[in-house]
């Protein structure tokens, strides 16, 4: 697994709830590439619970949506927006779990629409939540100009640039 460098880190005004490392209220997700998948390890905290010791469903959806966005950034080297998201909550996720693992991959692409599958696994490696996100992706030029996207690279790739 190779760590992916956050292309927006250090940019003025960057405050993403999902992945900005300096957003104190945020999730501070980090991402890795593992073959065709993008992976994130994340530690749940009590402040993100809905019911007692249970991770809020909205936070689960946010985690899944965020990893899907990073699949687009890394695998297609562009940006996009969520058009649709179908989420299945299969098992409760406990905020007392030592860690969660998220995985996402491209399922299919039809012109500017990309369908991404993603899951959240608990510390026992059980699938707890699944989603299929449909993203509308932008041409690379538009992503660069309007979303300040300059490419999404692994640490190894960045060293060789």
Mean pLDDT of 95-108: 97
Q: Are the C-beta atoms of 55 and 43 separated by less than 8 Å?
A: no
Q: Domain of 108: which CATH number?
A: 3.10.129.10
Read off the pLDDT band of 161 (50, 70, 90).
Answer: low
Average pLDDT taken over every residue of the chain: 96
Read off the pLDDT band of 156 (50, 70, 90).
Answer: confident
Percentage of the chain surpassing pLDDT 70? 99
Q: How many CA atoms lie within 13 A of 75 on its CB side?
A: 26
pLDDT at residue number 132: 98
Report the domain count for the chain.
Answer: 1
- Please state, in angstroms and rounded to a whole number, the distance separating the CA atoms of residues 131 and 34: 19
Cα three-residue angle 111-117-123, rounded to 5 degrees? 160
Q: Which domain holds residue 142?
A: 2-160
pTM across the whole model: 0.95
pLDDT, tens only, 20-61: 999 999 999 999 999 999 999 999 999 999 999 999 999 999
Nearest in space to 114 (alpha carbons), one of 71, 148, 146: 71
Read off the pLDDT band of 103 (50, 70, 90).
Answer: very high
């Amino acid at each position: 697994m190779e760590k992916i460098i956050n292309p927006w880190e250090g940019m003025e005004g960057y405050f993403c709830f999902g992945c900005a490392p300096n957003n104190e209220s945020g999730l501070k997700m980090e991402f890795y590439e593992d073959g065709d998948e993008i992976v994130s390890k994340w530690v749940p905290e009590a402040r993100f619970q809905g019911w007692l010791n249970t991770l809020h469903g909205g936070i689960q959806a946010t985690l899944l949506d965020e990893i899907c966005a990073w699949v687009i950034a890394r695998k297609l080297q562009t940006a996009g927006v969520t058009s649709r998201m179908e989420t299945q909550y299969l098992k409760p996720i406990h905020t007392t779990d030592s860690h969660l693992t998220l995985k996402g991959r491209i399922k299919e692409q039809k012109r500017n629409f990309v369908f991404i599958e993603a899951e959240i696994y608990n510390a026992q490696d059980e699938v707890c939540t699944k989603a299929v996100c449909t993203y509308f992706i932008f041409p690379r030029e538009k992503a660069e100009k309007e979303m300040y996207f300059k490419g999404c690279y692994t640490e190894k790739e960045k060293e060789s640039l």
